[in-house]
Structure 1
Amino acid sequence: MSNPNDKLIRMATQMADFFRSQPDRPAPEAVADHINHNWAPRMRQDFVALINSGAEADPIVRDAAAFVRLVQQGCDAPT
């Protein structure tokens, strides 16, 4: 069975591969936008934590982490 964290990086890498070929906007921002709109808050939190801890990832995936919105502690409002 694979590590769930590996799956987050793998999914983000697939997005990076797609958005790399789209010239209309920077790929890191496009990846983050997709993550922000389609991933649950916990997935986003785990993804950013992985990147911040030094997980091996595509440069676009690493750059995208800076644009991923996180839910603030004690805040119930969606982001």
Structure 2
Amino acid sequence: MDTRNLIDMANRIGDFFESMPDHEEALTGVAEHIRRFWEPRMRRALLATLDEAPDTYDIALTNFTREAIVRYREKLTPAQASAA
């Protein structure tokens, strides 16, 4: 999975919602969009980037997007797949 692309997509989502007048609603919007429309492996990769070394890529999360992801991390974390 291309981490730079995930960061860029997350930032574009953040840019859209950041223009909303209600800051809390905007943060929720970013998280809900990512939760609903990104598949679990994409969300796992984005969250892993925050944990590993987010500053090692040519592109970084904007402060607003990072705030949304950190605040709603639990909701964005995919459930563990159960072993069959």
- Aligned mates of 2:67, 2:16 — CA distance in 1: 15
Gaps of at least 5 residues in structure 1 are: none
Deviation beyond 6 Å, 4+ runs, structure 1: none
Task: For 1:31-42, list aligned pairs within 5 A.
Answer: 31-42=30-41
Seen in structure 2, the aligned counterparts of structure 1 residues 25 and 11 have a Cα distance that, compared at 3 Å, is same
More helix by share: 2
2:80 to 69, 73, 76: 73
**Which whole-Å CA distance do the structure 1 matches of 2:28 and 2:64 have between them?**
9
Q: CA deviation at 1:74?
A: 4.3
TM-score (norm 1): 0.76
Identity %: 32
Give CA-to-partner distance per residue, 1:45-76, whole Å, 9 cap, x none.
10111122241310112112221421243448
Q: Larger RCO: Structure 1 or Structure 2 (Cα < 8 Å, ≥ 6 residues apart)?
A: 2
Distance 1:54 1:65 in 2: 15
Report the equivalent of 2:12. 14
Q: Number of paired residues?
A: 74
